[in-house]
């Protein structure tokens, strides 16, 4: 059995994802953190790529990527940015007085959307 490495191509629109993430965060291009948001786009895109585990022969391109997948990358950028200062804290629980350190998954909010586009499920 031959195992093919997952797709690592850049199929999302980095400029569009950055703009969408900035809009979600209510930041502008000139904001102090705009560069940090833009810098997290490649990492967010590759996190989504790794979760999708698509065969490189079946990879998306900028022209064929579904808009909801591109929006998922923007949502992951949002999650990474919001947790950049304290990646292990559950912010909601802290506000309710029930703070407990927990591991936060930046893909948690988009997994259900991403599951529709997965082609391989790993080797077991």
Say what the pLDDT of residue 55 is.
75
Say what the pLDDT of residue 75 is.
93
Q: Which residues contact 22 (CB under 8 A, 6 or more apart)?
A: 28, 29, 31, 34, 37
| Rounded CA separation 82/108 (Å) | 14
Say what the pLDDT of residue 63 is.
82
Q: Where do the domains of the chain lie?
A: 14-115
Could you tell me the mean pLDDT of each successive run of 10 residues in the chain, 124 residues long? Answer: 69 88 92 92 90 80 86 92 68 54 76 87 58
* Residue 96 burial by Cβ neighbours in a 10 Å radius (0-12, 13-18, 19+): exposed
Q: Which residues contact 100 (CB under 8 A, 6 or more apart)?
A: 90, 93
């Amino acid at each position: 059995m031959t195992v093919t490495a997952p797709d690592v191509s850049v199929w999302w629109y980095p400029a569009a994802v950055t703009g969408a993430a900035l809009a979600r965060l209510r930041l502008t291009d000139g904001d102090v953190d705009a560069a940090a948001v833009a810098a997290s786009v490649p990492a967010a895109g590759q996190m989504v790529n790794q979760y999708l585990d698509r065969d490189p022969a079946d990879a998306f391109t900028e022209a064929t990527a579904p808009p909801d997948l591109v929006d998922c990358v923007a949502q992951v950028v949002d999650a990474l940015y919001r947790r950049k200062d304290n990646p292990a804290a559950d912010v909601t629980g802290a506000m309710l007085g029930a703070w407990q350190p927990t591991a936060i998954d930046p893909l948690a909010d988009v997994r259900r959307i991403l599951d529709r586009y997965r082609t391989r499920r790993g080797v077991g």
